[in-house]
Amino acid sequence: MTESLKQIDRLICDWLKIVDDILPRLIQEMHTDTKKDRFDLVTNVDKQIQDHFQTFLSNQLPGHLLLAEEKNNDDIDPYHGHVWIMDPIDGTANLVKQQEDYCIILGYFVDGEPKLSYIYDYPHNKLYKAIAGEGAYENDLPMLKPATLSIEDAILSFNPHVLNDRTINALFQTSFSYRIIGSCGLDSIRVIKGQFGAHMNTNPKPWDIVAQFLFAQELNLKMTSLDGGKVDFGKGGPFIISNPGCHQDVLDILNSGNGYQK
């Protein structure tokens, strides 16, 4: 890792320690608003964590830009310069309903290349980090490439509301089982750790999937669109992160017949 990347990583880890100090109070004072509909939640926690990070960037890394869920990003070009993409709380419904199973997602790109990625599982005190060319870490311990999982042995994770019944039944029948945590970042972490075979989302935004690129790159996982193509980190769109042992089989099911969409 270059010296400047090391310094940036240290700054981010220090910022996440500040999060440890401020989150309990924010959660205690939490109030919830809705966005598009009654299921689309946002809280003061999401907004204040994002604002805190924006202030930190402006002070510590001037010139670095932020593309994030709870702000307008019209003026951000994600493909040039130093760009951070952030989901301040991924799994907001879990935060509101369960106070568990949510995370902060962060990805750092230089001229469109991923350099650093973070998924911070605050309730379980686990920081997952990936560094370009160096590997991935769980609380500073190196993460291993997961063992190969065939679809028959794999737990699959997806939102059943968005797939047609034929596809859901085929996935249930072919795989070992089904689980969903309800946080794109933490469902992806299960794949990254070899606990799940695959996680897919038919409509993620850049901040839902930004960190997963580097974990997939460093740990030999597959991260593609649902037709097997490349995912554009600046746009998001249908994606799967998968163990290499079941990726093609899951895609074959999604794309058989008239496809997976309702």
CA distance 171 to 110: 38
3-state helix/strand/coil string of 51-97: HHHHHHHHHHCCCCEEEECCCCCCCCCCCCCEEEEEEEEECHHHHHH
Measured in degrees and rounded to the nearest 5, phi and psi for residue 85 equal -120, 135
Report H helices in the chain: 3-28, 44-60, 92-98, 165-174, 184-192, 206-209, 212-219, 247-254
- Residue number closest to Ca ion, CB atom: 90
- Chosen from ligand NAP, Ca ion, none, partner binding at 39 (C-beta under 5 to 8 Å by type): ligand NAP
Among 183, 188, 212, 242, binds ligand NAP (CB under 6 A): 183
For ligand NAP, the binding residues in 222-251 under the rule CB under 6 A are none
182 is a contact residue toward ligand NAP (CB under 6 A): yes
Is position 90 an interface residue for Ca ion (rule: CB under 5 A)? Answer: yes
Interaction of residue 93 with ligand NAP, rule CB under 6 A: yes
User: Is residue 90 part of an annotated ligand binding site?
Assistant: yes
- Nearer to ligand NAP by Cβ, of 87 and 249: the residue is 87
Q: How far is the CB of 246 from Ca ion (least distance, A)?
A: 24
Q: Which of 93, 201, 74 is nearest to 65 (CA)?
A: 74
CA–CA separation, 137 and 119 (whole Å) = 11
Residue 87 or 121 with smaller CB distance to ligand NAP: 87
Q: Which residues contact 63 (CB under 8 A, 6 or more apart)?
A: 81, 82
3-state secondary structure of 226: coil
90 or 249: CB nearest ligand NAP: 90
Shortest approach of ligand NAP to residue 69 CB, angstroms? Answer: 6
Is 70 an interacting residue with respect to ligand NAP (CB under 6 A)?
no
Q: Does 87 bind ligand NAP (CB under 6 A)?
A: yes
**In angstroms, what is the minimal distance from the CB of 99 to ligand NAP?**
14
The distance between the two most distant Cα atoms of the chain, rounded to a whole number of Å, is 53
- State whether residue 207 is helix, strand or coil: helix
Residue 204 interacts with, from Ca ion, ligand NAP, none (CB under 5-8 Å by kind): ligand NAP
Shortest separation between residue 87's beta carbon and Ca ion, angstroms: 4
Picked from ligand NAP, Ca ion, none, the partner binding residue 48 (CB below 5 to 8 A depending on kind) is none
Q: Are 8 and 110 in contact (CB under 8 A)?
A: no
Q: Does 162 bind ligand NAP (CB under 6 A)?
A: yes
For residue 71, how many other CB atoms are within 10 A of its CB? Answer: 15
Taking the complex as a whole, how short is the minimal distance between the CB of residue 85 and Ca ion, in angstroms?
11
Q: Which does 202 bind (CB under 5 to 8 A by kind): Ca ion, ligand NAP, none?
A: ligand NAP
**Residues forming the annotated binding site for Mg(2+)?**
69, 87, 89-90, 208
